[in-house]
Amino acid sequence: MSSRQHQLGAVAIEFAALFVSFFVTFYAILAYSLPLLLTLSFKEISADAARAAIKVDPAQAPADYVAAIDREVSRVVEASWLPAQWRNGDCPPPGPGSWQRLPATSGTAYGHLRLDDSRPEDGRLLLHVCLQRKYNRDGPASEAMIIPPLRLLSFSIPDLPEHDGETVLRGRTVIRL
């Protein structure tokens, strides 16, 4: 065998090793950027929906006011760039207190309301707008990762934090009306 044939074999081995490392790096960039994009989009859309809810006229009957807030929040969320399969409402309340779910006139409740405890004499409300999506390795399509995980040896890409055995991407905004 000539030394040229040995060099060609070494080039093939180097190419195989470099291809795997570049592929894993590229896949990791994609696999981690999509959950980050979703989380930031959820936060931006929830903030936009909360800002739109401020524009609702509070000089209505309380039930009509709450329904108008829900319609405005739902309108903003559904007009966003996110496909319906990539977003969900039904988030847990942001903390203790007497939070009441929005009435979900569009089919999904995107938030909660409660009386502002800091100044109850004003009768002002706190609005919690929240979007979320379960982002698990396995499960139904609506709860699974959009880009499937890459499993190599003992690690997985992406390896996202879990809470109670589930990964949930969530963006929320709380605003005083």
Phi/psi of residue 112, each to 5°? -140, 160
Quote the pTM value: 0.83
pLDDT at 6: 59
Tally of domains within the chain: 1
pLDDT given at position 145: 87
| Strand order across the 111-115 sheet | 100-101, 111-115, 125-134, 168-176
**pLDDT reported for residue 155:** 82
CA distance 117 to 80: 32
- Would you write out the chain's pLDDT as a tens digit for each of its 177 residues? 555 555 667 777 888 889 988 998 999 999 999 999 999 999 999 999 999 999 998 888 888 999 999 999 999 999 999 998 888 888 899 888 789 999 877 788 899 999 887 777 777 889 999 999 988 888 888 888 888 888 888 888 888 888 888 889 999 999 998
Domain enclosing residue 112, as ranges: 3-176
CB 160 within 8 A of CB 52: no
SS3 95: coil
In terms of residues, how long is the chain? 177
